[in-house]
Structure 1
C-alpha cells in the first residue's frame, strides 16, 4: 500500500468514523472486582490500517494524530455507554496530541457530557511514543484535565523516552508498568527489583500501580506476593468488543494466586497443556506435528483410556530417523515403535518438592526433556524439567531473602504466607508461638552460641525440650489436637 493510498484510507476512516473500540478489564486482586476498562482502537477489519500501530503511525505522519485520537475517544465513549460498563474508562492520549497547536481544550469534556459520562469516571492515559520536550506545557494541559475532574495515568513506565521524568513532574494517579518488566518476572530477579522500586516510588507519590501484560499464572502469583493489586493482561481478559463484567470469572481462585511454594497443593504452575497422540498414530503424523510447532519438544502417547503409555522426544525422534533407511522403514509405522516407555508421569496433586526429588533420582532425565502430568491417571499435559529447576531456585532465593539473619529460619513474611494459605484452604492446623524472654541482650553478650550450626542446633533442641516438658498434647479428635498448658516455669 503506497503512502498516498494510506493517507486516502485514513481520510475515509476519519470522515466516516469507521473505528472499532475494544475494552480490556483492569482488576483489583484485593477487592476481586473490575476497577475499569482500557479502551483500545482498531481500524476497519478489511483495511491495511486495521492494526493500531499502522493506523496511528500513518496519522502521525499525516499530521492528523490529534484528530484521530479524538475520533477514538468518541468511539470508545459511545460504545462504553452502549454496553453500560461499570467502573473507570481509561482513554489513551499521546502527549504530542495534547501539545498540538490544533488541539482544542474542552472537547473531551463536552463529548462526555453528550454521552452522560462524568469526568470522575474517566482516566486520561498518557502513552508516550515520541520524546516529550515541553514539560511545562504538558503539565499545564494535564492540570486542565485534573481541574475538570479527570484522573491521570502514565502508560508503559520504563519503556518511554522520559517516563520517569513524566512521573516525577506530573504526579499521575495511576502508573502502568511496561509489559517488558512483567514478562517472565517469576524467573528474573532484576525485573522483580525494578517492580519493587516502582512500588516504593508509587507509595511515596501516592500513585496506584497497574501491572499490564500479564500472560502467565506464575507472573500473577509473583506480582500478588510483591503487593501489586491492580492487574491487566491476556491471562485475565483479552481486549473484546463485549468484555466480561464478572471479576470472579476472570480472576483465578485466591489460593492459586497465593505464593507458590515447595509444598504447594498441585502442579498447575508447571502444566503445559500440550497435545498428545494415540499409540496407533503413524510416525509421519508425529513428524508433521513437530514441524508445525517449533516450540513443541515432546509428545505424550496415550492409550484408548487417555492414559500415558510412552513419550516421544523431538531430539530422540530426529536421531532415530537419521539412521540409514530409517525414514523409509518407520514413517508409516505406529509411533509406539519409536516412543520411549521410560518416562516420568506425576499426579497433579504432588508437590513441587516431590517432583524435584523424582527428577533428580532419574539419572537419565535430561534437562531439556519433558515429563507427563496426569490427573487420576489420565493425561493433563506436560511439564518441563527446566521449569522445575527454575522454580525451585526462585523459591530458594525467596526463602533466603526473607530468612531470619540470625537463625536462618523462616522470617515473618513466609510465616504470614503460610498462615494465609492455611486460612484460605480451611485446613486444620496447630500453631505454637515461642517467645524467649531477654533473648536479644543474651545473644549480644553470648553471640558465639549462634555462630555455628552445631551450637545453634543445641539451642533449638533445648527450646524444643522445654516445650515438650511444659506442654501436653491431648487428643481432641482423630484429625486435630489441643494444646494444654501445664503451668510452665519461666526460664531466662
Structure 2
C-alpha cells in the first residue's frame, strides 16, 4: 500500500500513484462544515468536503483535484466524493441543505448528469430541493454554452446553484450574469480582516446591495474571528461559514450555543427589538387576531366556513394557545377541488392536513427584520401571512401587505426626520422619545453629549473635517450601544442617548474612552502631540484650544420624577451649562 519513495524525478509519478490508489480503494471520507444564518445562528446547510481516509495515501486536497483534472479522472474523483457525501448525509438524517462542490467543467458531463438523477437521490432519501451545486472554478470554463445549458437543466429540476469563491475565479461577474445563481459565496480573502479594511467592507456592501436587487443570497466564507463575524453581520450578509463558527466534522452538527447567542447579540444590536429604540415598529403592533380552528375540527367544516366567508384568506390551528399549523385558503381549496377531494378529506381532522413549515416570529421583532426573513422564503410561501407569537403563544397574523406598508411608511418618516449627516433621529423623534419616558414609570437615564472646542476645530480644520468628527462620535455612540439605547442627533455637535435603565455612567465612560482614543486621528500630528490647536475665539482673539473632549450631562428617574417636558428641559439645561464649565472630558448624571 505504501507509495514509491519520492524523488525530484518521480514526484509526479508518486502523486499519480497516490491518486490511483485513492480511487481504487475509495479512500475518501466526507466532512461537513455548517453554513449558518447571520440573523439567528440557525444552520442553513452544510458544505460537504472531502478528506483522504488512508493515512498512508496523503496529499493536499486541492492538489488532488488539480491532478485529477490533469489525468482526466475528474469525474471519477467527483463521483466518489459525491457518493460518499450523499451516503453519510443520508445515514445521519440530513434535514438541511447540502452544498456539493462541483468542477465547472464536470457539471455538463453526461456521466455527472446521470449520477444525479432523481432516482439516485431517492435511494439516499434526499430531496433535490435541498441539494445545492457549488460551482468551483478550479480551471477556466472550457465550453460556456454547454455549461450554461447544464445550469438551466439542473435549476429546472429544483437543484440550487451557488458560485463558490466569488472574486477568486476566472470570470467573476460574467459567470454570475450567465448562471443567475441562488447564492454567492464571498471568497475568504475578501472576508479575512474585513473588520480592519474599509475597501473590503465597501466591496462587501456593494455585493450585499447587488444580491438584494438580484434576489441572490450571500455566504461569507472563512470567518475566523469575532470581529470579522461582527462586521459581516453589520454589513447584512445573509449567511456565514468558517472555523470561528464551526469546523468541518464527520458528523452533522449545529454550531455551539455560545456562537448562536453571539450572532443573535450582534444582529440584535443592528436591528433593535425595542420599539422605542427603532424607527421600525415591532411586528406585534401590526398583528391581527386572525381566524383560528381547533386541531380536532373536521376539514369539511372548515371548508364550508371558508366558502361562506370569502374574507377568510388564511387560518391558524391552535391548541392551548400554541400554534400547531397554518394554512391559506388556496391550500384547503386545492384539497377539496378535485373529483374525490370531498370524500377524501371532509371527515379528517384538520391536524392531519395542516402545514407545519409556516413562518412564525416573536412579537418583539422589528418589522424590517421580519420583512427580510419573509423575503427569504421559498416562492410558494413568499406571500403567505406570518404568524406572530408572544411568550411562545399565538398572538395573531400579519399580512405581507401590512408588513410592506409599515416598512414603507417608516422609510418616509426616517427620510423626513433624520439628520442627513449622521442618519440619526432628529429633533421631532427625539422629543417623542423623551416624552414617552417622562410620562412613564419605567427606569430611564437621558444623557446629552456636547463636543468641547468643536467650533475652534471646525474653524481651524474646515467644515469637512468638522463633519468627520460628528460622524466619528455618532459611530462611537452606536458602537457602545448594547441594550437598545436610543441615539439621536439634536444638531451641530449635540447628541442624546436614552437608556432604559438608571445606570448610564458605564455607557458614558465607554463613549469617552473610545472618543478620546479615536479623535486624535482627526488632528495634524503636531497638534495632537502638543495637545491643543491655535485658533481664534468668537471675539477674533487668537487662543490655544485643547483637543476636543466630551461634556456629558444626564438625568435619571432613580431620584428625579417629571411629568412635564418643560420641567425636565429646565433641569437638563442647567446641568449642561455646569458640565460645559469643566475642563476636559466630564460626566455628571443626577
Decide: shared fold, TM above 0.5: yes
Structure 1: how far apart are the matches of 2:233 and 2:182?
20
Q: Are 1:422 and 2:495 counterparts?
A: no
Out of 10, 31, 51, the position equivalent to 2:40 is 31
TM-score, normalization: structure 2? 0.47
Q: Are 1:143 and 2:152 counterparts?
A: yes
Unaligned runs of 5+ in 2: 1-5, 271-464, 487-498, 505-535, 540-552, 570-590
Describe the shift of the 1:111–1:235 C-alpha distance in structure 2 as closer, same or farther (beyond 3 A): same
Describe the shift of the 1:167–1:44 C-alpha distance in structure 2 as closer, same or farther (beyond 3 A): same
- In structure 2, the partner of 1:51 is 60
Matched-pair contact (CA < 8 Å) for 1:225–1:259: no
Structure 2: how far apart are the matches of 1:6 and 1:30?
44
Matched-pair contact (CA < 8 Å) for 2:41–2:259: no
Matched-pair contact (CA < 8 Å) for 1:44–1:50: no
Out of 558, 578, 590, the position equivalent to 1:477 is 558
Describe the shift of the 1:102–1:81 C-alpha distance in structure 2 as closer, same or farther (beyond 3 A): closer
Out of 68, 73, 76, the position equivalent to 1:64 is 73
Deviation at 1:220, TM superposition (A): 1.0
SS at match of 1:210: strand
Q: How does 1:396-475 map to 2 (within 5 A)?
A: 408=470, 421-422=483-484, 428=501
Describe the shift of the 1:453–1:32 C-alpha distance in structure 2 as closer, same or farther (beyond 3 A): farther
CA offset digits 1:213-260 (Å, max 9, x no partner)? 011111111111111131110111111112422552443525763699
Unaligned runs of 5+ in 1: 262-402, 432-451, 456-467
Out of 244, 248, 267, the position equivalent to 2:253 is 244
CA offset digits 1:144-174 (Å, max 9, x no partner)? 1111111100000000011221111111111
SS at match of 1:12: helix
Matched-pair contact (CA < 8 Å) for 1:215–1:233: yes
- In structure 1, the partner of 2:199 is 190
- In structure 2, the partner of 1:79 is 88
- In structure 1, the partner of 2:349 is none
Matched-pair contact (CA < 8 Å) for 1:175–1:208: yes
Structure 2: how far apart are the matches of 1:161 and 1:112?
31
Structure 1: how far apart are the matches of 2:222 and 2:166?
12
Describe the shift of the 1:429–1:29 C-alpha distance in structure 2 as closer, same or farther (beyond 3 A): farther
Q: Which moved more, 1:237-246 or 1:410-419?
A: 410-419
Deviation at 1:476, TM superposition (A): 3.9
Deviation at 1:48, TM superposition (A): 3.8
RMSD: 3.8
Structure 2: how far apart are the matches of 1:83 and 1:69?
21
CA offset digits 1:52-103 (Å, max 9, x no partner)? 1122122112101012111111101111122223311100001111244654
Q: Are 1:116 and 2:125 counterparts?
A: yes
CA offset digits 1:178-224 (Å, max 9, x no partner)? 01111111111121121112112212211001001011111111111
Q: Are 1:16 and 2:89 counterparts?
A: no
Structure 1: how far apart are the matches of 2:537 and 2:243?
47
- In structure 1, the partner of 2:311 is none
SS at match of 2:218: strand
SS at match of 1:422: coil
SS at match of 2:470: coil
Describe the shift of the 1:117–1:453 C-alpha distance in structure 2 as closer, same or farther (beyond 3 A): farther
Q: Are 1:228 and 2:309 counterparts?
A: no
Structure 1: how far apart are the matches of 2:13 and 2:568?
90
TM-score, normalization: structure 1? 0.55
Structure 1: how far apart are the matches of 2:538 and 2:216?
49
- In structure 2, the partner of 1:366 is none
Q: How does 1:304-319 map to 2 (within 5 A)?
A: none
SS at match of 1:477: coil
Q: How does 1:89-238 map to 2 (within 5 A)?
A: 89-100=98-109, 103-105=112-114, 107-238=116-247
Structure 1: how far apart are the matches of 2:65 and 2:468?
57
Structure 1: how far apart are the matches of 2:52 and 2:89?
18
- In structure 2, the partner of 1:382 is none
Deviation at 1:429, TM superposition (A): 6.1
Q: How does 1:291-302 map to 2 (within 5 A)?
A: none
Counting matched residue pairs gives 311
SS at match of 2:32: strand
Structure 2: how far apart are the matches of 1:39 and 1:96?
19
Matched-pair contact (CA < 8 Å) for 2:36–2:45: yes
Deviation at 1:5, TM superposition (A): 4.1
Matched-pair contact (CA < 8 Å) for 1:34–1:247: no
- In structure 2, the partner of 1:349 is none
